[in-house]
Structure 1
């Protein structure tokens, strides 16, 4: 009886996370179906145990109670990760792209596609003057101005990898950590810390809501 109730609670947690879109903050979209399927399996197992009605005098054990409390907290408290903090605690080596998108016109490249292109291109001057249309969150840095960034994942936040671009922020605009922005501008090259680096020169900065699927493959 107790185990059946616990399985139903966890099945509700997984199915609600699948239906509500919470998984978009934690897991790559290709794995969402796996979570939903697991929720259905737990639902069937829980119903089967409740119908069986064995061990009516079975007591709640501490691990079961803790598991139930955890499931309830997941339902009550939606995830709200700090992407800037996650990015600061992850290495910056991007995974291989799912497909080559470097042939796209510059204004159609996403932020991560720009970062992959620039890392594969030894001479940043070749992209100077290219139009840029990107979106991402503000990633604070221990030293220097914040970057505009995205998190890429193979599976979930546990293997998240940051991709960031330097921005020449206008004096009239103060970027706030974790703020989501859409930037239109051009790519330039500047010397920073004795290195020539690609830098986005914004012509228009728009505050946007966090995308429904903020994690990129």
Structure 2
């Protein structure tokens, strides 16, 4: 009677698998409801989180049904049935549980200055004529870098007004009055995230903290930054702001 030997162990596996799947389903629902899902993926793919939540909950319900059916068989005396089909091993269960444990213990937050690996990029690719039709004061950091990549001479953008939002990024060699207003671009998920930014001249730079979210208003000038002449935003106003609901920009 194999089930007499294995039945309780298999029941524990099924119960644990059901709880993990139920927890993953609730975790996805919580991330969607709280808005934290945009800390991980491009908004174009948020619908996949809804699909994942539904699938995990359906699998959890299936596991719960199997547990109830197993109990009924046991009560009916069907003790010679082998319940091993469809069971996960303990290592597999542990692996499935890792995302749930990490997601629960590690606070959700978007990438910021401390996640920058190397330099913040001053250039992007993929500019279109549409970027030039966006009014200057409506362009974000990504829009401006696309414009810069298409002009034949940076002097063409000198004097252009700008109003952008991003986080403060600084390196020791920037100078006392300079920082970058930066954002991360995300094509699919944070695994492909890339940091981009616009150099800023501001007399109050020393008062800003790395990772502060700021709104910068001013006009572009062409000056040397990191050893090359590039458009630099000469700020007339820098104010602290709340982190945007969608912290990433999407190419």
- Bin the TM-score by the shorter chain: 0.7 to 0.9
Q: Does 1:113 align with 2:143?
A: yes
3-state DSSP class of the match of 2:166? strand
Q: More helix per residue: 1 or 2?
A: 2
Partner of 1:155: 188
CA contact (8 A) 1:190 1:199 kept: yes
How far off is 1:68 after superposition? 2.9
How far off is 1:118 after superposition? 0.9
Q: How does 1:120-135 map to 2 (within 5 A)?
A: 120-135=150-165
- The size of the alignment, in residue pairs, is 216
Q: Does 1:181 align with 2:214?
A: yes
Q: Deviations over 1:14-56 (max 9, x none)?
A: 2211221111111110111101111111101110111111459
Pick which of 144-153 and 130-139 moved more: 144-153
CA contact (8 A) 2:24 2:53 kept: yes
Partner of 1:68: 97
What RMSD, in angstroms, separates the aligned Cα atoms of the two structures?
A: 2.6
Out of 50, 55, 65, the position equivalent to 1:36 is 50
Partner of 2:124: 94
Pick which of 167-176 and 30-39 moved more: 167-176
Write the distance in 1 (CA, Å) between the matches of 2:136 and 2:107.
36
3-state DSSP class of the match of 1:102? helix
3-state DSSP class of the match of 2:131? coil
Q: TM-score by structure 1 length?
A: 0.87
Unaligned runs of 5+ in 1: none
